[in-house]
Structure formats: structure tokens, C-alpha cells
Amino acid sequence: MQENEIPPLGGYSDAELDRAFAEVAREVEKTAVSLHSAEDKEQFRLAWLGRKQGRLKLISDAWLKSAPPEAKKQIGQRFNALKAEIERLLEMAGDGPAASELDAEAIDITLPGTRRKLGAEHPLIKTWNEIVSVFQRMGYSVGVGPEIETDYYNFESLNFPPGHPARDTQDTLVVAGQERKPLRDRLLMRTHTSPVQIRTMEQQPPPLRIVIPGKVHRNDAADATHYPIFHQVEGLCVDTNITFGDLKGTLDFAMKAFFGSSVKTRFFPSFFPFTEPSADVQISCPFCGGSGCRKCKYSGWIELLGCGMVDPAVFGFVQGKQPGYDPKKISGFAFGMGIDRIAMMKYGIGDIGLLYSGDLRFLEQFA
């Protein structure tokens, strides 16, 4: 049989149909023996299964379409069987000699892979995680909130009335073009993570224990100890019969857990609009043991954070959404500290700008 030449059927009896299709099947098997490469397989597929000039298409046109109606079923059955056999031979060729090219390109999964060079935690992130983990072990959950806040959550609900001098000490970065809005609705970059305390109390009734790490923004000129961006960790505990003694015990335990069991704490009166009474907290220098060194300015003590009992007025702002925060029935304490300052102190970093420079020469020191 010549290529592309389809001999006519001698009749439509079962014997004649079996003979004709058997002859074509022998031709298929003979051709399939020489399939040794991907190119051979593609030529075989096109020669037999091609949609326009494939042998099966020509056989269908020559035998099936011209057959009388009573013979079409018998021819169709044999035609489908022939097509299935061609596809089987084509598939089997992939497991024979033609597969050797693919095997040569296979990946040996037993070989060790290329190791990606591991990085290291940024000193800020490392300090952040260490501080948060101390309070998590004490039963505190972690809270987050938006960095773009309204004046209400950033100031008013925290007992900063309009015109309060404490607003001026925070050098707030405000979003432009909001002069027509009421003051409480104007947007700004949060100056502390305290708004998350209000948002959390609005959503959850007491008792509440939450620690809030996050990025804050103030319009500070950059120098060795100040930067427009920095990080804080604040905490809030609200329940019945919470006292200043609970606050002192909590912070003393946390400072010992973070800096070492030999560290001591002491409290000095201070002022914050959202706490009353308020205090600044100092710790004995963990680097010199209180004897005096450069890091503690030879005083033996380092001022580290602020704290106080939650002002009842703050609970008053929350009561409308959570009646459980009745200042006559519950009390609480809050505290806050700067992550950047602690990281600088712990790792001996002299310029806060280095933490934000992205300079790998600096960061690789902590790898």
C-alpha cells in the first residue's frame, strides 16, 4: 500500500471488513516499531491522526462515508478500534526508547537542593517579638489597628480635649484637605498605638488583657535619637479590682523576664491625659548592674516606659458601645514603651536612623 493511498473495499461482509482493517493495523504496527525520538512520535501522530491528511481521516472518507447505511455500524466499530490501537502504540512509545531523552532531563530528587541563603530578623522585629512574647506568656493577647486614625480615636477618646497642651507635644502628621470635616473626623497618622485600646474596648467587654505593638508617626526632625517613624508596644488590662499594685507587679515581672532576674524597677510620678495616677518607670541598668556606665549615663538607672491607671473618663468614651466599662465597677492599667529605644540600648546602636537605612553592612551584624 502506497502512502496516502487507500485501497477500495472489496465488499461489506464481516470477512472483507476484517481483512481490510487487519491490513491497515499491520501497517500501523510496522511504522510504530521505528518510534525512537520525540520527532518520530510527532511524525507518526500526524501521519495517522492528522485532522486534514491523516490516514484515519482518509480511511473515514474512503470507507465510512461511502458505505451503505446497513454497513456503517460495522465499519465504525472497526474504525474506532483501529484509532484506539494507534493511540495506545503512541502512548507506549513514550515508555520505550523514545523516553530516554526525557529521562536524561529528569531531576534526581535524591540530590541535595540549592540552599537559599537565610536572612535574619531585623533588630527592631527581634526586639518587638521578644517584648510581645513576654506578655503573651502572661496571658495577654495581641491587638492591631490602623496607622491612619481619626482625631477622635487618637486624641479625643483618650481624654485629649481640643486645645489640650499635650496635643502639641506629639507633633502630629495630619492628612491634608480635611478642613471642612469636624475635628473628631479628621484623619492623621497615629502618634501612638493607644487608639487600639479604645477600638478593642468598643469591641470586647471586660475582662481584657491586650498588648499592642505597632508603627507610629510624629513630625520629629531626624537626629541620633529621633525619627518621624518609630515603634511602640502598649498594654492594657481591665477587670474588677485592678490596682496600682497589679500594675507594678506586672511591669516588674515583665522587665525581669526581658532583661534578667537581677533587674529592679522603680516608679516616679508623671502625667498622661489618659491615666490617673501616672508614672514613669526606670529599671536598674542591666549592663552594669546599677554601678554606672555609659548606657545609663553613669546613674545606674534607665528610664524605660510610662504607665498608669486608666482614667475613668476614658471608660466613659467606651461605655456607649460597651456598657460593661462602667468606671464605678471596673478599673484597669495601661503602659507603653518604645521598641526602637530598647533595641538601640540592647544592641548598642548609636543612631536610630541606622534602623531604617536598609544598609546591609549594618544589618548583617545581627545575622
Three-state SS at 90: helix
- Mean pLDDT is lowest, of 108-117, 187-196, 198-207, 294-303, for 108-117
112-164 per-position pLDDT tens digit: 877 777 778 899 999 999 999 999 999 999 999 999 999 999 999 999 988 87
User: Would you place residue 2 in the very low, low, confident or very high pLDDT band (cuts 50, 70, 90)?
Assistant: very low
- 32: part of which helix (H) or strand (E)? helix 14-32
Mean pLDDT of the region 198-212:
96
Contact criterion met (CB below 8 Å) for 295 and 304: no
Alpha-carbon gap, residue 171 to 188, rounded angstroms: 11
User: Would you place residue 98 in the very low, low, confident or very high pLDDT band (cuts 50, 70, 90)?
Assistant: very low
Mean pLDDT of the region 26-41:
82
Cis before residue 277, ω within 30 degrees of 0? Answer: yes
User: What pTM did the predictor assign?
Assistant: 0.66
**Percent share of the chain, pLDDT over 90:** 51
For 181, the grid coordinates are 470635616
What is the pLDDT, as a whole number, of residue 4? 59
What is the pLDDT, as a whole number, of residue 1? 43
Q: How would DSSP label each residue in 215-232?
A: EEE--PPP-SS--SEEEE
**Percent share of the chain, pLDDT over 70:** 95
